[in-house]
Structure 1
Amino acid sequence: MKDKLVVEISVAVVDDDASLRNALVSLLQAFDYHAKGFDNAESFLESAESETTDCLITDIQMSGMNGIELNRVLRQRRGPFPVIIMTALQGKLALDSARESHPVCVLSKPFESHQLLGCLDRVFSKF
């Protein structure tokens, strides 16, 4: 019998809300993703994961660099890159700005875990 090819998919979660960040990392790990959390955009960009992660999940509003700026920096560094943006902001301007940054999904907080997993399915359906 042939060995099964195992593809480890790496997902980074960047959010300054520790409880949400930790919950998302735990959820992703429960679904066999290699997940790591970061409390701000700068710490993520300084890490090795910024060059190796397969997908980024980020909040828009954080202290320091926001999620839209983080998305822009990653696109400059790596080219097209799958990003899922989360936001508690419900204003049209915030949502339009998020969508203009070309994420795979924009999730309005609070959201259900199946919504996030559906976004990840869209990203990784080719794996």
Structure 2
Amino acid sequence: MNPYTCGHVYVVDDNPDIRFYLTDLLRQMGYSIEGYDSAQAFLQQSIEIFPAVLVLDVRMPGMSGVDLQEKMKALGRNTPIIFISGESESEEIIRAMKGRPIEFLWKPFQIQTLIDAIDRGLAVDSVNRQDFIQKNEIRRKWQALSAREREVFVLMLEGHTNKGISEKLDILPDTAKKHRANILQKMQVHHLADLMALCKGLDMEALEP
């Protein structure tokens, strides 16, 4: 049984035969499906769903699949993409691959190859979604800190002791200790090690509103 039966697949292809074939087949296999005949229609009508994968034709009238890929990136939509193509110039392929799609499939392709790529994409999107949720939760807690607590927060992550923090900020050690305790409480962790693990690899500038 497909482990991602709750996964969603967008199919964007201006060829109605291919679009109808893929949407019908994938629906029968347990995926939820939306089909669009153009990149513009996808942008105007689609709703962001998680986890999801976009099966995208490279060459279409108007906005191409690669144009749509770049537009989605600009909009902050990170749905994994599987490109499908009957023919493409090398420049198109290079542009497409710069966006790191899950797969680039040449028509006609084996349906199992597409299914494997879809499942990989859904797995990636599930991880991305959890990461997005976690970062938003950290951002919410960070924004609850006072301006002084945020200064102490950064120094804590840099490994400064209460004494070091007090010297850096010209405050009493007891005041630094209180700030430290408040920060741990607001970030909902018990120890500095937990706080450092929570924020590992996080861009602190991205936490600002």
TM range (shorter): 0.7 to 0.9
Does residue 23 (structure 1) correspond to residue 26 (structure 2)? The answer is no
* Partner of residue 58 from structure 1, selected from 56, 63, 69: 56
- 1: distance between equivalents of 2:88 and 2:73? 25
Give 1:101 deviation, angstroms.
2.2
Of Structure 1 and Structure 2, the greater helix share is in 2
Give 1:123 deviation, angstroms.
1.4
Query: Aligned pair count?
Result: 121
SS at match of 1:71: helix
In structure 2, the residue matched to 1:109 is 107
Instruction: Check whether the contact 1:11–1:56 (CA below 8 A) recurs between aligned residues.
Output: yes
- Of structures 1 and 2, the larger Rg is shown by 2
1:112-127 to structure 2, matched below 5 A, reads 112-125=110-123
One-letter identity of the residue aligned with 1:24: L
Of 13-22 and 53-62, more deviation after overlay is shown by 53-62
SS at match of 1:36: strand
Structure 1, gaps ≥5 residues long: 1-5
Specify whether residues 7 and 78 from structure 1 end up closer, same or farther in structure 2 by C-alpha distance, changes over 3 A only: farther
Give 1:90 deviation, angstroms.
4.8
In structure 1, the residue matched to 2:90 is 92
- 1: distance between equivalents of 2:76 and 2:27? 25
Of Structure 1 and Structure 2, the greater strand share is in 1
TM-score, normalised with respect to structure 2: 0.53
Give 1:22 deviation, angstroms.
0.6
Deviations, residues 27-85 of structure 1 (Å, cap 9, x unaligned) = 111111101110000011001x2423621111010001000111111122234330111
* Partner of residue 31 from structure 2, selected from 9, 30, 33: 33
* Cα RMSD for the two superposed structures: 2.0
Specify whether residues 18 and 92 from structure 1 end up closer, same or farther in structure 2 by C-alpha distance, changes over 3 A only: same
- 1: distance between equivalents of 2:27 and 2:19? 12
Instruction: Check whether the contact 2:5–2:30 (CA below 8 A) recurs between aligned residues.
Output: no
- 1: distance between equivalents of 2:42 and 2:67? 13
Structure 2, gaps ≥5 residues long: 127-209
